[in-house]
C-alpha cells in the first residue's frame, strides 16, 4: 500500500531513532505512543519501500562475500579474501598484499602475553615486514631457514621484526630447515639456542604459516631436494607442503621420513596451537591450499580471489571443518 505523507514522516523519524541514534524499539514505541510491534512493522516497511538503505562497506581490496563463504565452507575461524592482482603472473609467488592484510589480522588476533610462532615462507616474511602493531608478546621461529646464508633476510629477520614491533622476546633458529640426514638434524635440535626455541613450541598461541604446492618455485622443500627425492615424494601423491610437512590431496600426511631430517615444528604440536593462520594465494597454490585445509592443522586463512574461487567450487568430498582440528589419518 502507498504510504501517505504522515506515514512517511513517521517512518523516517522511527528509522532515524533506530538506525542512527541506536534507540531500541521499545524506546521508540514509548516516544510515539504505539506498540513495539507497530514500530517493527514500520521499520520493515521502510526497508521494503527503499526509505532506508543499509550499505555494508569494506575496503575495496577485501572481498567480504567470498571471505564469509570460504569461512563457512571449511569451518574456518577467520577467512580473509583479498582481490587478486589485475594481471596475475602464472609463475608469481603469493601476492604481496596478502602479507599486508595478514599483518593487520595478526594485530587483531594476538593478545598481550601470547606466544607468536612464525614459520618460514615468503608470505610470512612479507607479513612480518608489514607489521606495525602488536601487543607485547614472545615471538618464536617454528622452522629452520631455507638457506642459512640468507637468514638475515628471511625467517630470522621476520622473528626479530615481529619482536621489535611487539617489544617482546625473540627466539630465532639459526639452522637450515633441511639437513642431510636424521642424525644431523637430531644433533642440531640439541643445541642450546635451537632447543630453547623448541621449548616454546608447546606455548605458542598464534602461529603464521605458508603453504606451497609441489612444484619448482612454489615449495621451498621441493627446491631443496634432489631430483631423485622429488620423484620419490611425488610418487607418494604429495600435493602440498607446509612447514616441511607433506600432504596428499585429501590432507593426509605423506613422506613423514622427511620430517626426521628437518628443523620444524611437529604436526601434532601445530594441531594443538589454538590459532594457526595460513597465508597463501594464487591459482598455482589453490589445490595445495585446499589439501592443507583438509588436514585440520589450520584454523584461519588469508588468501586471494583466484584461490578462493577454486576452493569454493572444488568437490566437497573430504572437506573437514578446520575448527574440529580433525586429523584425516585418524591419529
pLDDT in tens, 30-87: 999 999 999 999 999 988 888 888 766 556 578 888 998 999 888 899 999 998 876 5
Contacts of residue 258, Cβ cutoff 8 Å, sequence gap at least 6: 221, 233, 244, 246
Q: Residue 150: what pLDDT?
A: 45
Total domain count, the chain: 2
In a domain, 232, yes or no: yes
Do residues 11 and 115 both lie within one domain? no
Do residues 267 and 145 both lie within one domain? yes
pTM of the model: 0.80
What's the CA gap between 37 and 172, in Å, rounded? 61
In a domain, 56, yes or no: no
Q: Which domain holds residue 249?
A: 62-324
Return the SS3 of 212. strand
Do residues 133 and 39 both lie within one domain? no
What's the CA gap between 234 and 239, in Å, rounded? 8
> Which has the minimum average pLDDT: 47-51, 65-69, 149-153, 239-243?
149-153
In a domain, 79, yes or no: yes
What mean pLDDT value characterizes the chain?
87
Q: Which three cell numbers stand for residue 264?
A: 620444524
CATH number at residue 266: 3.40.50.1360
Do residues 106 and 236 both lie within one domain? yes
Sheet strand arrangement including 300-304: 78-82, 300-304, 275-279, 206-210, 115-118, 138-141, 170-171
Do residues 29 and 136 both lie within one domain? no
In a domain, 329, yes or no: no
Which one has a higher pLDDT value, 329 or 32? 32
Do residues 15 and 81 both lie within one domain? no
Amino acid at each position: 500500500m502507498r504510504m501517505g505523507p504522515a506515514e512517511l514522516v513517521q517512518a523516517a523519524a522511527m528509522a532515524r531513532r533506530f538506525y542512527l541514534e541506536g534507540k531500541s524499539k521499545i524506546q521508540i514505541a514509548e516516544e510515539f505512543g504505539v506498540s513495539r510491534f507497530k514500530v517493527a512493522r514500520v521499520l520493515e516497511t521502510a526497508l521494503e519501500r527503499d526509505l532506508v538503505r543499509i550499505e555494508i562497506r569494506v575496503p575495496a581490496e577485501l572481498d567480504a562475500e567470498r571471505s564469509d563463504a570460504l569461512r563457512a565452507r571449511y569451518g574456518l575461524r577467520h577467512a580473509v579474501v583479498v582481490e587478486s592482482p589485475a594481471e596475475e603472473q602464472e609463475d608469481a609467488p603469493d601476492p604481496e598484499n596478502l602479507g599486508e592484510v595478514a599483518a593487520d589480522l595478526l594485530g587483531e588476533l594476538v593478545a598481550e602475553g601470547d606466544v607468536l610462532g612464525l614459520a618460514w615462507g615468503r608470505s610470512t616474511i612479507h607479513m612480518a615486514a608489514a607489521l606495525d602493531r602488536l601487543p607485547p608478546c614472545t615471538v618464536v621461529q617454528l622452522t629452520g631457514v631455507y638457506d642459512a646464508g640468507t637468514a638475515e633476510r628471511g625467517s630470522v629477520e621476520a622473528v626479530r621484526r615481529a619482536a621489535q614491533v611487539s617489544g617482546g622476546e625473540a627466539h630465532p633458529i639459526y639452522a637450515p630447515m633441511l639437513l642431510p640426514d636424521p642424525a644431523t638434524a637430531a644433533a642440531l635440535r640439541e643445541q642450546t639456542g635451537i632447543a630453547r626455541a623448541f621449548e616454546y613450541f608447546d606455548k605458542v598461541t598464534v602461529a603464521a604459516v605458508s603453504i606451497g604446492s609441489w612444484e619448482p618455485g612454489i615449495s621451498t622443500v621441493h627446491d631443496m631436494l634432489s631430483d631423485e627425492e622429488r620423484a620419490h615424494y611425488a610418487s607418494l601423491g604429495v600435493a602440498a607442503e607446509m612447514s616441511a610437512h607433506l600432504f596428499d590431496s585429501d590432507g593426509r600426511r605423506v613422506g613423514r621420513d622427511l620430517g626426521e631430517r628437518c628443523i620444524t615444528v611437529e604436526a601434532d604440536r601445530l594441531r594443538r596451537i589454538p590459532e594457526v593462520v595460513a597465508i597463501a594465494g594464487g591459482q598455482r597454490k589453490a589445490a595445495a591450499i585446499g589439501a592443507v585445509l583438509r588436514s585440520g592443522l589450520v584454523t584461519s586463512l588469508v588468501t586471494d580471489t583466484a584461490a578462493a574461487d577454486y576452493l569454493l567450487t572444488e568437490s566437497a568430498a573430504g572437506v573437514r571443518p578446520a575448527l574440529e582440528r580433525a586429523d584425516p589419518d585418524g591419529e
